Amino acid sequence: MQTTDVGVLMVQLQVQRTIAASPEQVFDWLTDPANLTSAPLFLRAGWANGFSGPNVGATREIIMLGAWLREEITAYDAPRSYSYLVVRSFPPAEHDGGTLTFTPSGGGTHVDWVSAYTIPTRAGGKMTEAVTSPLFRSSFRAILAGCAKALES
């Protein structure tokens, strides 16, 4: 966990994996919201109405088991990195942002995915964070595994 400027402890997630494919392939695969459904908890994901691809300001919507997220792409530097921010969600969450960084590594690409958030007290606070933290970490790993399976075969 990390502490914010106001002293609130945030859940800090970091997942890494090296995938035997080019940075361009891995970046393209991971910026397609439909591929988020590689994680069992992610039921449906796609670009929000009016958006057809990744760029700064593009919005994607994700339906998860028990949750809904609206995320906005806040930085886009293909094929090196992109960042996103959950701008609306149910249940409510305060997202500090997420970033995926793609670094050439041998014959493949090293992906570093970081994200930080807090759950307000009205949505269960620290108890909900204790449940969601391992679920999100596992989901991020499943998405990276789905990318490796799709691109390495």
Band of residue 5 on the pLDDT scale cut at 50, 70, 90: very low
Minimal CA–CA distance to 14: which of 136, 148, 130, 149? 136
pLDDT of residue 4: 46
- CB burial of 19-56 (b: ≥16 within 10 Å; e: otherwise) equals bebbbebbbbbbbbbebbbbbebbeebbbeeebeebee
Write the pLDDT tens digit of every residue in 24-55. Answer: 999 999 999 999 999 999 999 999 999 999 99
pLDDT digits (tens, 9 = 90+) for 58-93: 999 999 999 999 999 999 999 999 999 999 999 999
Nearest to 24 by CA among 147, 149, 137, 153: 147
What value, to the nearest 5°, has the Cα angle with vertex 90 and ends 96 and 145?
65
Instruction: For residue range 106-145, list pLDDT tens digits in order.
Output: 999 999 999 999 999 999 999 999 999 999 999 999 999 9
Residue 3: its pLDDT value, please? 45
Q: Which amino acid is at 63?
A: I
Instruction: Give the model's pLDDT for residue 153.
Output: 72
Residue 8: what pLDDT? Answer: 62
Q: Assess whether the previous peptide bond of 134 is cis (omega < 30° from 0).
A: no
**For residue 111, what pLDDT is reported?**
98
138, containing H or E segment: helix 125-152
Domains and CATH numbers, the chain: 2-152 (3.30.530.20)
With contact defined as beta carbons under 8 Å apart, do 10 and 91 qualify?
Answer: no
**What's the sign of the alpha-carbon dihedral 153, 23, 45, 17?**
positive
Residue 9 has pLDDT above 90, yes or no: no
Report the percentage of the chain scoring pLDDT > 90.
Answer: 92
